[in-house]
Amino acid sequence: MAGIILKKRSTPHGVKIPESKPTGNKPIETLPFPKKAIVPLHQNLGVPCEPLVKKGDSVKTGEKIGDSESYVSAPIHSPISGEVTGFTKLIGPTTGRLTDAIIITADGRNTWEEPEAAKDIAALSRDEIIALVREAGIVGLGGATFPSHIKLSPPEGKKIDTLILNGCECEPFITSDHRIMLEYGEKILLGLGLSKKVFKPDRIYIAIEDNKQDAIDHMEELVMEMGLDRNIRIVPLKSKYPMGGEKILIKVITGREVPSGGLPLDVGAVVQSISTVKAMYDAIFDGKPLIERVVTVTGLVERPGNLCVRFGTPLREVIDYCGGIKKNVNEILLGGPMMGTSCFDLDFPVTKGVNCILAKESTPVKEENCIRCGRCLDACSMDLIPTNFVKYVKNHDYAACKKASIADCIECGACAYSCPAHIPIVEYIKIAKGELANKKRIKK
């Protein structure tokens, strides 16, 4: 089988975080459907959807219940069958914005909207694949929630020669993509075949960190079994945070540097996550829109695991299924410990952007003065000077932040993790980004 596994690669930057993925060996379980689903109309980066249903309507599982005419949007589908019993407003746990949400009370039957007749997948054109991906409401499930049909449609004249499937899952605790690779590897490779048809890349890489050797072995076996070894190479990567960042992966694998303020497509590359490509398989091979995802429920819960959860399911139900949280928990994060966002209301629902629910005990630490040790510089994979951002924000000098390329910061938190003075560097960066965004809005 030699040949399709490339030499292990690494990056000089980033941080080594002690291994903490206790759910890596827990097979995916399916959470019972919620009795009541709360489905936000804004679950993607971009424009929210308008509702397509009203109170009293009956809906089927997979029926489209929200959409927008804007290009930067993705439709929303009903995660259960039942009746629309109302609307509410909530702050999107991952978007941080106030959004309308549709309340659907289950009829307990899980009656599916009839999927379209099986298509001749081999005959689908590039444009048909992209249209089906949009119609299925697929967004980047690695955390970005950027509508996938846009990523699949690079502007005229931009040739994509390199397609990278991102199986790094470098953030501690999260194991959903790891399990999907082990349990649905064949579907991933068929989904990847759809992306290949769209981009016609010269090279396809599957990037997996070396703390998931079983996934590396399994994907290698499948690539060989499915006769894909002419096109696909597997790249083992040293487990380091944030190895899975798009721009970092591209640099490590291809040696190309995405320019400041640029996009991967500027260097002929596209990165897709494992979960996204699996969702493309579900939509096109099985006719299933995006109504659920695998979520790692971990940290201080009684029975941690990887659960397939319908969107709209309140966090409380997910946590209860896992036996509840332990006594000392004082924080619930949506996402991992490095990039997750705190959630203060367990009635919030699981949405497209939630790949992990982490229950933890946070101990307050006192921010001290910068000792100019330079550790944050070494940790930053984007070649930024994090300590300067802190200084500029303290002086309210947001123009200096802009000049220092703050927009290139991926908010990975590696700098703050390394900081012996406990300076919450990412919080400062977020303040600056918010101020700069406000200024831009006012100018318009």
Which two structure tokens, joined as six digits, stand for 361?
A: 């005990």
Please give the Cα distance from 302 to 293 (Å, whole number).
Answer: 21
Helices and strands of the chain, counted as H and E runs: 12, 17
Please give the Cα distance from 218 to 236 (Å, whole number).
Answer: 13
Which two structure tokens, joined as six digits, stand for 92?
A: 């999107």
Please give the Cα distance from 221 to 281 (Å, whole number).
Answer: 19
Which SS3 state, helix, strand or coil, does residue 24 take?
coil
DSSP states of 223-270 = HHHTT-TTTEEEEEE---BTTTSHHHHHHHHH---PPTT--GGGGTEE
Minimal distance in Å, beta carbon 161 to ligand SF4?
26
Minimal distance in Å, beta carbon 387 to ligand SF4?
4
Out of 384, 401, 404, 432, point to the residue binding ligand SF4 (CB under 6 A): 384
Backbone phi, psi, residue 96, to 5°: 75, 10
Out of 133, 234, 248, 412, point to the residue binding ligand SF4 (CB under 6 A): 412
Out of 228, 410, 431, 436, point to the residue binding ligand SF4 (CB under 6 A): 410
Contact flags string 346-375 toward ligand SF4, x per CB under 6 A:
------------------------xxxxxx
DSSP symbol at 406: G
Contacts of 331 (CB under 8 A, 6+ apart): 342, 359, 360, 361, 362
Question: CB–CB of 146/47 below 8 Å?
Answer: no
**CA nearest neighbour of 173 among 51, 26, 293, 33:** 26
In terms of CB distance, is 228 or 370 closer to ligand SF4? 370
Out of 207, 234, 359, 421, point to the residue binding ligand SF4 (CB under 6 A): 421
Return the range that interacts with ligand SF4 (CB under 6 A); candidates 115-123, 165-173, 208-216, 409-417.
409-417
Q: Please give the residues from 97 up to 116 whose contact with ligand SF4 meets the rule CB under 6 A.
A: none
In terms of CB distance, is 223 or 338 closer to ligand SF4? 338
In terms of CB distance, is 224 or 370 closer to ligand SF4? 370
**249-255 LR contacts (CB < 8 Å, sep 24+):** 249/164, 249/166, 249/168, 249/207, 250/162, 250/164, 251/11, 252/9, 252/10, 252/11, 253/9, 253/162, 253/164, 253/205, 253/207, 254/162
Out of 423, 428, 432, 433, point to the residue binding ligand SF4 (CB under 6 A): 423
In terms of CB distance, is 348 or 398 closer to ligand SF4? 398
Return the range that interacts with ligand SF4 (CB under 6 A); candidates 115-123, 160-168, 424-432, 436-444.
424-432
Verify binding: residue 409, ligand SF4, rule CB under 6 A: yes
Minimal distance in Å, beta carbon 343 to ligand SF4?
21
Minimal distance in Å, beta carbon 42 to ligand SF4?
25
Out of 164, 359, 382, 401, point to the residue binding ligand SF4 (CB under 6 A): 382
Total chain residues near ligand SF4 (CB under 6 A): 29
Minimal distance in Å, beta carbon 405 to ligand SF4?
10
Q: Which residues bind ligand SF4 (CB under 6 A)?
A: 370-376, 379-380, 382, 384, 386-387, 390, 409-415, 418-421, 423, 425-426, 429
